[in-house]
């Protein structure tokens, strides 16, 4: 287009720009509408699905965890609120709130014994007898979700990974890398010795003793001087399964 | 679950560190608490009144995990019971300990209800009869430790519920109830 001189030329150019912008906006709006429509369809289908498989979602932990994954992908959080469609349909909010309360309960009851660190597996085992009444199975994934909701309370509830195991922490102690490595080592037998820590992790004696002392002070470890070989053993209740029976008593 | 005769042992009994006195205060408090409960429970069900620190006592060792309590630990657990009024040292050296799963006052109350249930309000009995007579068979008084019994009777005597007197035979005493 040949550029015409004068004020008229400028005005035409501005008008053309406006036209382009409008057209562009329209296209964008159209796309968003389409997207919104698609998402709405998806949501309603998800709701249909949830309605249809309501019982399975409630009863079957694997199914439940897959359903959660699906929800997360479309930005639906069935746990976000206790009101509204999801809660009414599935009662799923209550399910996790109740679970959360039971988890807090168990963590407190076993804290004196394990120093506020408990094996997730162990926790599930302890939950089972408490939930006998409603016969709904609880998976580790459910506990995980319930605990992540507890985080909002700022009470320091958290799931941490140590080696292959997942541990639930209910005290605000920070475990550093050294402590983690010791806990990982302890998973094999339930205990470690200073020698073993030095040898397996190639640490100096001071480093091992220092880390073990901290774990002891935090109530995460217990000493055992009773073995025949005379070597002090450091036991970690959070990685052995004695807790279960203790909490019953 | 491991058993001692008909007694069910708690799970902590199989966890080795519970046999070593824990250095950290909170951990130790929990440990002492568990042992106190275990000792009282065991003594109540087995009707054991006296524990000798240096003698064989089934709870002091666990052969399965090859652990036993040090003398220091034994004394610590029993001392914790003593400070709660659930036990008393019988000697200055703390070698023998009287376990009171019922406090003396509770024993006295048990004797009172025993007397009432059997219509013995104005009767005379020997101390031995209270422990091993027909009336006490099947009650908690059966086989009761003599020291504990005498202490409970003294409590009742001070309240004027009975009088203790020397019997005809030198080794037994009589009790005249007046409730």
Which CATH number covers residue B71?
1.10.10.570
Mean pLDDT computed over A224-229: 92
Share of chain A above pLDDT 70, in %: 84
Q: Of B123, B120, B9, nearest to B63 (Cα)?
A: B9
Q: What does the radius of gyration of chain A's CA atoms come to, in whole angstroms?
A: 28
Closest CA of chain A from B178, distance in Å = 43
Residue given tokens 């209740």 in the structure block = A237
- Shared-domain flag, residues B67 and B120: no
User: Does residue A193 surpass a pLDDT of 50?
Assistant: yes
The tokens describing A165, both together, are: 């195991």
Of A2-6, A128-132, B91-95, where does mean pLDDT reach its minimum? A2-6
- Decide if B20 and A225 are in contact by the 8 Å CB cutoff: yes
For residue B113, count other CB atoms closer than 10 A to its CB: 10
Please give the pLDDT value at position A93.
66
Domain closes at, from B69, B99, B129: B99
Of A56-60, A225-229, B71-75, where does mean pLDDT reach its minimum? A56-60
A230 CB within 8 Å of a chain B CB: no
Mean pLDDT computed over A5-18: 86
B12 CB within 8 Å of a chain A CB: yes
Mean pLDDT computed over B141-147: 87
Q: Of A143, A153, A58, nearest to A106 (Cα)?
A: A143
Please give the pLDDT value at position A246.
46
Domain closes at, from B79, B99, B119: B99
Q: Give the burial class of A125: count Cβ atoms within 10 A of its Cβ; 0-12 exposed, 13-18 middle, 19 or more buried.
A: middle
- Shared-domain flag, residues B28 and B63: yes
User: Does residue A39 surpass a pLDDT of 90?
Assistant: no
Mean pLDDT computed over A210-219: 91
Domain count, chain B: 2
Please give the pLDDT value at position B87.
92
Range of the domain at B110: 104-177
Mean pLDDT, chain A, as a whole number?
81
Run of H or E residues at A158:
strand A158-162
Please give the pLDDT value at position A66.
83
In this complex, the residue of A112, A227, A228 whose CB is nearest that of residue B30 is A112
CATH of the domain at B164: 1.10.10.10
Please give the pLDDT value at position A204.
87
> Distance of alpha carbon A19 from its chain centroid, rounded?
51
Mean pLDDT computed over A87-110: 77
pLDDT bracket for residue A247 (50, 70, 90): very low
Question: What is d(CA A93, CA A97) in angstroms, rounded to the nearest whole number?
Answer: 6
Across B45-56, b (16+ Cβ under 10 Å) vs e yields eeebbebebeee
């Amino acid at each position: 287009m040949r550029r015409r001189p004068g004020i008229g030329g400028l005005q035409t150019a501005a008008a053309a720009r406006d036209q382009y912008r409008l057209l562009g906006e329209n296209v964008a709006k159209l796309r968003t509408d389409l997207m919104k429509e698609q998402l709405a369809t998806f949501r309603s289908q998800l709701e249909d699905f949830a309605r249809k498989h309501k019982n399975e979602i409630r009863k079957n932990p694997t199914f439940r965890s897959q359903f959660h994954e699906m929800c997360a992908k479309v930005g639906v959080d069935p746990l976000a609120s206790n009101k509204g469609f999801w809660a009414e349909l599935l009662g799923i909010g209550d399910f996790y709130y109740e679970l959360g309360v039971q988890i807090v309960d168990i963590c407190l009851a076993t804290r004196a014994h394990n120093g506020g660190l408990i094996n997730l597996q162990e926790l599930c085992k302890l939950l089972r007898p408490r939930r006998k009444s409603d016969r709904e199975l609880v998976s580790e994934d459910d506990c995980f979700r319930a605990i992540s909701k507890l985080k909002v309370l700022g009470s320091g509830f958290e799931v941490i990974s140590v080696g292959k195991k997942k541990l639930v922490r209910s005290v605000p102690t920070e475990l550093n890398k050294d402590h983690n490595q010791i806990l990982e080592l302890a998973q094999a037998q339930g205990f470690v010795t200073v020698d073993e820590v030095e040898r397996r992790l190639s640490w100096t004696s001071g480093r091992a003793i220092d880390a073990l002392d901290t774990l002891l002070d935090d109530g995460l470890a217990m000493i055992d001087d009773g073995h025949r070989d005379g070597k002090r053993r450091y036991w970690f209740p959070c990685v052995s399964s004695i807790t279960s029976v203790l909490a019953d008593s | 679950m491991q058993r001692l005769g008909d007694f069910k042992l708690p799970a902590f009994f199989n966890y080795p560190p519970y046999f070593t006195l824990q250095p950290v205060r909170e951990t130790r408090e929990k440990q002492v608490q568990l042992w106190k409960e275990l000792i009282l429970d065991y003594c109540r069900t087995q009707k054991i009144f006296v524990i000798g620190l240096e003698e064989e006592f089934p709870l002091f060792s666990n052969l399965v995990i090859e652990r036993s309590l040090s003398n220091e630990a034994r004394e610590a657990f029993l001392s914790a019971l003593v400070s709660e009024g659930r036990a008393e040292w019988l000697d200055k050296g703390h070698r023998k300990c009287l376990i009171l799963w019922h406090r003396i006052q509770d024993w006295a109350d048990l004797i009172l209800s025993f007397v009432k249930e059997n219509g013995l309000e104005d009767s005379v009995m020997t101390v031995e009869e209270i422990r091993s007579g027909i009336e006490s068979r099947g009650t908690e008084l059966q086989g009761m430790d003599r020291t504990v019994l005498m202490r409970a009777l003294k409590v009742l005597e001070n309240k004027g519920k009975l009088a203790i007197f020397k019997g005809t035979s030198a080794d037994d005493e009589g009790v005249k109830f007046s409730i």
